[in-house]
Structure 1
């Protein structure tokens, strides 16, 4: 349960102001069809985070406990710093295909998440907790908690969110996870 809750919270916080949330605003404004947009986000996130979770699980099988502990600890600290860097949409992220709302959303979200901080966080969390299903479910829920309101409420809430404060809290959580991992908090889990 801890893996699910931490994964949900960290990703929901980290996703506020992220380029995929900005993409959700853009798609909602362009298409004004929230249900296929939300379903496209869900499908893309599930596929992307399942692959990331599988990579995290595989990493735990090939790295020794000490290497894994240091790698995870440093990864969480790097995620803390990365979370403080504001995202912007690139022009390539806004090129919308003409394949329908669901397919357009699915493709743009899947590609935008490749190498994004939430995907990297999913890899690290799956390796940390060795509970791929709980982590993927949690990170997916976190993405949905951040992006569904963006689809439905759009510009009405975008300028009201304290993005810097939310990113600071997410960075703090990543930093705590990193320090705790480096200090051996995960030793009972075998790393």
Structure 2
């Protein structure tokens, strides 16, 4: 460890258990929020019309940038507020999202499965654009980064993620957990969700039950609220 440069040592988490806790909670949080969310469907629909790899790269770049920004905002709160208050605020946010998801589950439990509303909205928005011819030829990475598809995936995903439940939850989680664990866990969660979206998002959208996602997500957020409020893992 002493052989590493100073800036590398400073970037590494001092407490591995704190890093692991932040990583695990951030990873699970993103999986609970993003499967079947607007950003999921944006990537899924764009990938039907364009290169899956380019769409995945553009969407993930936007989500990674938003994760870093959200975690930085969350980490700044304890610098101006007492950590007890930021922890309490985070717990209340988790509880609010948990109750909201459980209410959605309760509302949907007696209904027959229908087309996902989020999917229908995203499809309607994207249908204003003319579908591009799908490319099967691999492009050079340098060209892909500046391709219109990459830019479109990046901008649309960033706009869809701004103010979303997962962004606010990431801010709240970073306020009381290890910064690097939250960032890495969040980015990995986004990478997996976006990967599932571009590979078979439209098919998955018909198989994933909104009720099941709402129930699991609601329970997970309530658990996070209890853990954060108790401070057991601090």
> Taking structure 2 as the reference length, what is the TM-score of the superposition?
0.71
1:29 alignment partner, one of 31, 42, 48: 48
Q: What is the CA–CA distance in structure 1 between the aligned matches of 2:21 and 2:88, rounded to whole Å?
A: 21
> Which is higher, the Rg of structure 1 or of structure 2?
2
Aligned counterpart, 1:63: 81
Residue 166 of structure 2 corresponds to 118
Q: Give structure 1 stretches of 5+ with no counterpart.
A: none
Deviation, 1:79, is: 2.1
Contact kept, 8 Å, 1:25 with 1:154, in 2: the verdict is yes
Closer/same/farther in 2, CA of residues 77 and 38 from structure 1, 3 Å limit: same
Q: 1:83 to 1:16 in 2, by over 3 A?
A: farther
Match of 2:91 in 1: 73
- Provide the secondary structure at the position in 1 that maps to 2:207: coil
Q: CA deviation at 1:163?
A: 3.1
C-alpha deviations, 1:90-133, integer Å up to 9, x for none?
6896366996110000011111111101111111111121x212
Tell me what 2:197 maps to: 150
* 1:81 CA drift (Å): 3.2
Query: What is the match of residue 178 of structure 1?
Result: 225
Aligned-residue offset at 1:9? 1.3
Contact map agreement 2:60 2:194 (CA 8 A) in 1: no
Residue 161 (str. 1) matches residue 208 (str. 2): yes
Bigger Cα displacement from structure 2, 77-86 vs 105-114: 77-86
SS in 2 for 1:104: helix
- With over 3 angstroms needed to count, the CA separation of the structure-2 counterparts of 1:128 and 1:93, relative to structure 1, is farther
- For 2:230 and 2:64, the matched residues in 1 are separated by 32
Let me know the Cα RMSD of the aligned residues: 2.4
Q: Gaps (5+ residues) in structure 2? A: 1-19, 105-115, 133-146
The number of aligned residues is 185
Q: Does 1:9 align with 2:28?
A: yes
1:19 matched to 2:22? The reply is no
3-state SS of paired residue (1:48): helix
CA drift at 1:154: 2.9
Residue 58 (structure 2) aligns with? 40
CA distance in structure 2 between the aligned counterparts of 1:3 and 1:66, rounded to whole angstroms: 17
Looking at structure 2, the residues matched to 139 and 37 of structure 1 have their Cα atoms a distance apart, in angstroms, of 19
Q: Pick closer, same or farther for the CA change 1:93–1:144 going to 2, 3 Å.
A: farther
The 2-side partners of 1:171 and 1:14 are apart by 10
